[in-house]
Structure 1
Amino acid sequence: MAKSLTSSESTVLTYEQCKAVTAPFYCEENVCNILKLALQAGAKIGDLFAVFVSSPDRLVPFREQKSTFKEKGGMCYWDYHVIPLILTSTRRNSEKTALVYDVDSVLPFPSSLQHYVTHSIPAPFHGMDYQQIHIKEFRHCFRVVNYGEVMTRFSSDRRHMLLPASHWREAGVPEYTSVPPPWPCFKPDASSHPHSLPLFLKMDAAMEDDLFKVNGELSQEEAPGELFCCVEDLFKFFDRLIVDPH
């Protein structure tokens, strides 16, 4: 079970608060809810981020997840995972640290970004640019998107969670691989595309299959945030933000 940080550190949200606004297997929507909750709790917009983790082939190994398969050496494989990251001040000093609030993890809650990545991503992939990894399906890439872009550009009609129509128990009544959350589907406004998730999961600009489609046409819309395919570059990005928030 996830644990809280020591009392000497100040957290924006507790595990219980975050768990109350999440639903299993809908990590991208869970992150939106957690970031909104953090904003309501007093966090600054500039300190809130969603980190989309995937690979060009949509297969990434993770450790220390609640869904970990013990028979596979404590490792599970996601097509993608999304984590909320909040720059948080500690009581011991005025400096901020990058904390991950992943309700799907069994690591301490929250965990520092360094601790989370070190223990969640199998060691062979640390310090390696994805082009150096011959097993291409295991290339961890990280798309970091700030709160503003998430809330204005992310949308999901949950089509990626639908079972094939042939598996529906009643004709015309959609069924999902996991029970949908009780809240409405995410959509910034009436004019937004109903499902922009593929754009956020675009981990290789050269892959045509990952291009965002609008009304069946390939879109030239730029993917949100910044893409990193090396954990050290991810660390450096947040280190710079902590030193110089502007």
Structure 2
Amino acid sequence: MSSSKLELAASETPLAASYFHHTPYYCEENVYFLLRKLIDDGQANSDGSDLFAVFISNDKKQVPLWHQKASRRADGIVLWDYHVICVQKRKDGNSSHLVFDLDSSLPFPSPLAYYISETVRASFPLFSEFERCFRIVHAPLFLRFFASDRRHMKDDSGNWMAEPPSYNVITAEDGTAHNLNDYMSISSATVKNLEADTLAAVHTEKLGVVVRSDQLEEFFSQVS
């Protein structure tokens, strides 16, 4: 993709990455508030129906992603235990679906196809234990049901492994205090075929559906 096309896609939203709240190593909370801000600022549908939170992980909790700011390598590769991004589906056939990744060094936001090519590198040969799976959660459900009290960021002695955000923890609408593990526990055994019931389930299942990297573009091209 040419640089001019990238600039065009990125300019479809006037919001830079710096406009959104970002706390390193708290990507799930960063995406939670990014979704809310896109909705509140009119950059998405008022009900968030065009937005999705996407958790990336696998059975071994070892997922290689390229062009990550936390990397010390020239190619930006990081081996995360899990990562979370936002995807905005565009209904206009002339517009690319967009990826918002606050930890990426790629243009913000990036066209989905470009992000998959550069960050996921689905065609790059990997050992099976490094294959990535994607839990796709519809934003209206994610914003209602997601909760995190940040217990996963404390060591065995109760010390923070990374400084937490200054705002209060996120509690689900039903009062649940912590269910992050349910979202980031992703197994290849739960990958779904892209059939009509799978596409429909993302709108009703609070934990969404799980697909492979080579299904990601097709999923967003078909889901309503």
TM-score range, shorter chain: 0.7 to 0.9
Within the alignment, does 1:188 sit opposite 2:172 as a pair? yes
Equivalent position of 2:32 in the other structure? 32
Alignment length, in residue pairs? 202
- Matched with 1:218 is none
Aligned to 1:151: 143
Post-superposition Cα deviations, 1:160-198, rounded to whole Å, max 9, x if no partner, equal 100221xxxxxxxx4211110011111113631x22111
For the residue of structure 1 that corresponds to 2:170, the secondary structure is coil
Post-superposition shift, 1:123? 5.3
Determine the C-alpha separation between the residues in 1 that align with 2:110 and 2:53: 15
Deviations 1:135-176 (A, max 9, x none): 3320100011011121122111111100221xxxxxxxx421
| CA positional deviation for 1:103 | 1.4
- In the TM superposition, 1:132-211 aligns within 5 A as 135-165=127-157, 174-189=158-173, 191-192=175-176, 194-204=177-187
Aligned partners of 2:207 and 2:162: how far apart in 1? 27
| Residue of structure 1 equivalent to 2:201 | none
CA distance in 1, matches of 2:41, 2:93: 18
Give structure 2 stretches of 5+ with no counterpart. Answer: 1-5, 191-204
Q: Who is 2:41 aligned against?
A: 41
Which of 65, 74, 77 pairs up with 1:75? Answer: 77
1:73-152 residue pairs with structure 2 within 5 A?
A: 74-88=76-90, 95-122=94-121, 124-125=123-124, 135-152=127-144
Q: Deviations over 1:59-107 (max 9, x none)?
A: 0111100012318x64210000000111247xxx774421011111010
TM-score by length of 1: 0.73
**CA distance 1:62–1:41, change in 2 (3 Å):** same
Larger radius of gyration: 1
* 1:238 corresponds to 2:220: yes
Post-superposition CA distance 1:14-50 (Å, at most 9, x none): 22212xx121110000000000000001111111110
**Runs of at least 5 residues in structure 1 that lack an aligned partner in the other structure:** 127-132, 166-173, 208-221
Q: State the identity as a percent.
A: 33
Cα deviation for residue 8 of structure 1 reads 8.8
The alignment partner of 1:5 has SS state of helix
- Aligned mates of 2:61, 2:80 — CA distance in 1: 8
User: Is contact 1:144–1:227 with CA below 8 Å preserved after alignment?
Assistant: yes
Q: Paired residue for 1:23?
A: 23
Deviation at 1:111, TM superposition (A): 0.3
Q: In 2, are the aligned partners of 1:157 and 1:195 still within 8 Å (CA)? A: yes
Report the 3-state secondary structure (helix = DSSP H, G, I; strand = E; otherwise coil) of the residue aligned with 1:70.
Answer: coil
Give the 5 Å matches for 1:213-232.
Answer: 224-229=207-212, 231-232=213-214
2:198 corresponding residue in structure 1: none
Secondary structure of the corresponding residue to residue 84 of structure 1: strand
2:33 aligned partner, one-letter code: N
TM-score when normalising by structure 2: 0.80
Where 1:97 maps in the other structure, the secondary structure is coil
Matched-pair contact (CA < 8 Å) for 1:50–1:147: yes
Letter in 1 for 2:217: F
